[in-house]
Structure 1
Amino acid sequence: MKQDKNGLWVSWNENLTHNYKSLYKITSEKELQEVVKNSDQIRVFGSKQSSADIASGAATLIDITTYNKIISFNDSERTITVQAGVILGDLLEAIEAKGWCIPCLPDINTVTIGGALATGTHGTSGQLLCEYMTKCTLVLADGSVKEISEKDTLINAVRVSLGVLGVFSEITFQCQPIYTLHVKEGPEKDKEWLPKIEERLKKHDFLRILWLPHTNKGYIITGDKIDPNTKITEDLGPKYLKHRRKTSKILYKYTHIFPWITAIANKLLYRGFFSSTKEHKGSLYQATVTKSRGSTLELAEWTIGLDIFPTVFEELKTEINKWSNKSFIHIPMDVRFVYKDTSWLSYAYGKDTVTMGCVSRNAATANTYEAFKSIEKIFLKHGGKPHWGKRFTAKNTELSKIYDKWEDFKLLRRELDPTNKFLNPYLTELINEKKHN
């Protein structure tokens, strides 16, 4: 176990900084227990890619990325057990080598498993990543280890826990046999793709929509399971498509000063990078997951019931197209679909859900990005929920109205962590915990 003292913690996009007194790099569950037990206040971080101030801000920090072993496979049950600091990409490569997959994957593969679970990370056309967890061990505030399985009702609270119930240690995932997707991509007008969502969810195994604000267009990505030996004519589009992020950075460089430039930039980006069709095949991981983030950015994401998404979408579109409010949105807005579950702090608790991501390509000026405020106001109005690992301003008052199990979660948190060991200032305010014992 390595310990650094009195340093500065800086997030991936450099928007969040915190001083700490001790930072530990651990490699075993025993070391994890020891640090947790002997700390007054502690937070755990991984790849630092959260836009929410959730991972740091305590005197003691644990860098979980060194706790990263793949522990075991169970071939008969098709499960894999890993330590919480394993990077998602390493987990996925390990299970693909076994001929397995997890049938719903996040957009990026650079996050740690523990952080991804705690913040409700998800993909599309399936359930939250945490729903494929069948068992875990949790290091509690007193340093003891609690094993939780699917048979325990507690697992519904633990799956999305914000890291305030305990620290994920070892995690077991249920996998499925690997399959090949035939992926097709191309643009459609908003009036065409919006009414087809439910029809496409039934027809295709994979659906993702990149909405292009201020263009009246969406970029539709569908995937269908096929025999891996099926021959298709691959078309990855023009070679210059790989320069989209670099071009975006240039076009959006001054949009924090002149927001209206965004509307023009979006039209140029649509013509250059989203107007052509593409076709390819591969595993879910190969075909749909981004393998790197490229340049830094700032993210917000909101979720809403599938049944009312069209209404919310039209209201949002009307609002951001008003030149008076400066809520111009960089493209694309990522529209994905998550199926209902029973996890207390899941966005999909009890209902099928649509998620809508909002990105600022200028991370340093995200505080003046009016779009974040507009999308939050509209989604909250309709009972929408924020992504726990991304940017939002809603606190206890608003959250208690949109999460049926919010108060139950808070009571359980107090029971498991009576001295508020796992809280930082951001989380203390988020759940309205008035004092430390």
Structure 2
Amino acid sequence: MQQSRRRFITTIAAGSTAIAATPISSMARTLVQASGPVKRKGIRWRNWSGSQDCLPSERLAPKTIAELQQRVADAKGTVRAVGAGHSFTALVPTDDTILSLGRISGVADHSSETTQATIYAGTRIADLGQPLEDIGQALINQPDIDEQTLGGCLATATHGTGAGLGCMSSYVTGLELVTADGSTLWCDTEQNPETFIAAKVSLGSLGLVTKVRMQNQSSYKLRRESWVAPMREVLEQAETLAESSRNFEFYYIPFSGMCMADKHQLTDEEIFTTAREDTNEAVMTLKTVRDWLGWSPRLRQYALQSAMEDIEKEVVVESSWRNYASERNVRFNEMEYHLPREAGLAAFEELRRTIEENNLNVFFPIEVRFVKGDDIWLSPFYQQDSVSIAVHRYFEEDYQPLFKALEPIMRKHGGRPHWGKLNTLHRQDLTGLYPRWQDFLEVRRELDPKGKFLNPYLKKLIG
């Protein structure tokens, strides 16, 4: 019995956020027929969760930047770049042209003196760790889902966790854009500096980012420790743990009163790991508990707490890129807001109470991370050290009632939404959240006056 409890909660804890699945290509590459007055055949695109889709007239995957330039120059209508499909907002859908940079990938150049590397934007984060390690470098930080392309990560200000670490865009020192007429434009702090600061987080609305010069650090190992503790204990220690750890985050299991905490520290230890369980089983186990005991929050809490009481700490020492990444296979839709750090834990408490006092139908853990502020115009972390809070909904279930109940709390506490995660904000809401909003729009209009890179969603947002 004790062993089954240990296995149960270890899998719950390790898999708590989420869980990315089959490659998008296997979901999307099916010939379909569009509905409407004029029927046409094509290859339907869907995002990872299935919440966004479209039937573009063209789906292109150039082999070279020169071919990409020609494709952009010749394209009629809207052009949208597509990566791994891990965004939940409608950033990609268009009836016109979807363009993948997946065949233009890898490390193009590097410098041992500056510890920088120039990387093609179509490179998956999962495919960067070993090549960078081979040249003695590593990303300074990265998200735990590593299926995204580098370009997609930068477009939406994707982040990991670490109170002293910024989002991935904050480590960009230069980038190349293919603009609306097919020409290339290099941007950094000396060449086209205003375009550079706008393009580091741009939602793909300025052009197609083809190459990115990243500030990295020398290869390093991390010691990751994961443990279960009562929620009150974790909340009391959260600020201290965030300051004393290189990376720290925690996940609250709804209706349990318990958290899974996770911290990383730099180490020179030999590679080592304790037993590691199947993270995907864990989330489905949480779903089963919800399905069986959701009618009684008290019984649900008793069952979860009983299972979690005797869980042992998990320790993994590995190369940084191996320790960040998690294999995730259970699909979901997600809402995430970035709140001023001083408001983050209070917002989490209000979210938790709202879920549990109203017995909201949720089983995915609530994820809480810490992110350093930056100076990027459209970064949700602009001039704001943040606590990021993410809530998830199983992909087969309607996410709208849950998100509708929780989003006002995020907004009340001053949150800015993750650009790739579901939210209901409109242009007028965002102009008040981003002091340099108009500066970004001016750069965008100058680079793309005819709106070649704006799909219907972006036309409403920034067009």
**TM-score, normalised relative to structure 1:** 0.88
Name the CA distance, whole Å, in 2 between partners of 1:226 and 1:248. Answer: 33
Name the SS for the 1:430 alignment partner.
helix
Q: 1:215: which partner in 2?
A: 256
Indicate which of 192, 209, 227 corresponds to 2:233: 192
Indicate which of 355, 371, 387 corresponds to 1:338: 371
Q: 2:428: which partner in 1?
A: 397
Name the CA distance, whole Å, in 2 between partners of 1:204 and 1:359. Answer: 26
Aligned partner letter, 2:356? N
Change (3 A) 1:52 1:98: same
Q: 1:80: which partner in 2?
A: 117
Name the CA distance, whole Å, in 2 between partners of 1:396 and 1:262. Answer: 39
Indicate which of 95, 116, 122 corresponds to 2:153: 116
Name the CA distance, whole Å, in 2 between partners of 1:85 and 1:242. Answer: 27
Q: 1:149: which partner in 2?
A: 188
Name the SS for the 1:172 alignment partner.
strand
Name the SS for the 1:429 alignment partner.
helix
Give 1:374-413 correspondences, 5 Å limit.
Answer: 374-413=405-444
Q: 1:139: which partner in 2?
A: 178
Name the SS for the 1:34 alignment partner.
helix
Change (3 A) 1:20 1:240: closer
Determine if contact 1:244/1:273 at 8 Å carries over to the other structure.
Answer: no
Determine if contact 1:302/1:379 at 8 Å carries over to the other structure.
Answer: yes
Q: Which moved more, 1:347-356 or 1:151-160?
A: 151-160
Q: 2:242: which partner in 1?
A: 201
Gaps of 5+ in 1: none
Q: Tell me if 1:360 matches 2:396.
A: no
Q: Which moved more, 1:187-196 or 1:163-172?
A: 187-196
Name the CA distance, whole Å, in 1 between partners of 2:119 and 2:203. Answer: 19
Shift of 1:389: 0.9
Indicate which of 201, 204, 215 corresponds to 1:174: 215
Q: Tell me if 1:348 matches 2:381.
A: yes
Indicate which of 20, 42, 49 corresponds to 2:86: 49
Aligned partner letter, 1:359? H
Q: Deviations over 1:97-138 (max 9, x none)?
A: 223211211111111111111011110111111111111100
Name the CA distance, whole Å, in 2 between partners of 1:78 and 1:10. Answer: 37
User: CA RMSD, aligned part only?
Assistant: 2.5
Q: Deviations over 1:215-242 (max 9, x none)?
A: 222211122222234x87x4336x5666
Indicate which of 79, 83, 99 corresponds to 1:62: 99
Aligned partner letter, 1:319? T
Aligned partner letter, 1:141? A
Change (3 A) 1:276 1:375: farther
Change (3 A) 1:163 1:216: same
Q: 1:310: which partner in 2?
A: 345
Shift of 1:179: 2.0
Shift of 1:249: 5.0
Indicate which of 280, 287, 292 corresponds to 2:323: 287
Name the CA distance, whole Å, in 2 between partners of 1:281 and 1:320. Answer: 36
Change (3 A) 1:72 1:266: farther
Name the CA distance, whole Å, in 1 between partners of 2:435 and 2:302. Answer: 41
Q: Tell me if 1:243 matches 2:304.
A: no
Name the CA distance, whole Å, in 2 between partners of 1:71 and 1:91. Answer: 12
Determine if contact 2:348/2:389 at 8 Å carries over to the other structure.
Answer: no
Aligned partner letter, 2:135? K
Q: Deviations over 1:338-361 (max 9, x none)?
A: 101101111211121111111112
Name the CA distance, whole Å, in 2 between partners of 1:213 and 1:348. Answer: 27
Determine if contact 1:262/1:328 at 8 Å carries over to the other structure.
Answer: no
Change (3 A) 1:309 1:263: farther
Q: 1:227: which partner in 2?
A: 268
Change (3 A) 1:85 1:223: same
Determine if contact 1:44/1:56 at 8 Å carries over to the other structure.
Answer: no
Determine if contact 2:255/2:300 at 8 Å carries over to the other structure.
Answer: no
Name the CA distance, whole Å, in 2 between partners of 1:240 and 1:14. Answer: 24
User: Which gives a bigger RCO, structure 1 or 2 (Cα 8 Å, sep 6+)?
Assistant: 2
Change (3 A) 1:72 1:352: same
Aligned partner letter, 1:247? T
Determine if contact 2:344/2:388 at 8 Å carries over to the other structure.
Answer: no
Q: 1:21: which partner in 2?
A: 57
Q: Which moved more, 1:108-117 or 1:51-60?
A: 51-60
Q: 2:204: which partner in 1?
A: 163
Determine if contact 1:236/1:280 at 8 Å carries over to the other structure.
Answer: no
**TM-score, normalised relative to structure 2:** 0.84
Name the CA distance, whole Å, in 1 between partners of 2:175 and 2:297. Answer: 45
Indicate which of 414, 419, 422 corresponds to 2:445: 414
Name the CA distance, whole Å, in 2 between partners of 1:123 and 1:220. Answer: 15
Name the SS for the 1:14 alignment partner.
coil
Name the CA distance, whole Å, in 2 between partners of 1:263 and 1:411. Answer: 55
Name the CA distance, whole Å, in 1 between partners of 2:134 and 2:398. Answer: 40
Name the CA distance, whole Å, in 1 between partners of 2:151 and 2:381. Answer: 19
Name the SS for the 1:154 alignment partner.
helix
Q: Deviations over 1:47-91 (max 9, x none)?
A: 112111112224111122122233122222222212111111111
Shift of 1:168: 0.4
Name the SS for the 2:446 alignment partner.
helix
Name the CA distance, whole Å, in 1 between partners of 2:53 and 2:278. Answer: 36
Q: Tell me if 1:11 matches 2:47.
A: yes
Q: State, as a whole percentage, how many aligned pairs show the same letter.
A: 27
Name the SS for the 2:177 alignment partner.
strand
Change (3 A) 1:51 1:242: closer
Shift of 1:297: 1.4
Shift of 1:262: 8.3
Change (3 A) 1:305 1:23: same
Q: Tell me if 1:423 matches 2:454.
A: yes
Name the CA distance, whole Å, in 2 between partners of 1:166 and 1:261. Answer: 52
Name the CA distance, whole Å, in 1 between partners of 2:435 and 2:189. Answer: 21
Shift of 1:188: 2.1
Gaps of 5+ in 2: 1-30, 32-40
Change (3 A) 1:24 1:261: farther
Determine if contact 2:228/2:308 at 8 Å carries over to the other structure.
Answer: no
Determine if contact 1:263/1:328 at 8 Å carries over to the other structure.
Answer: no
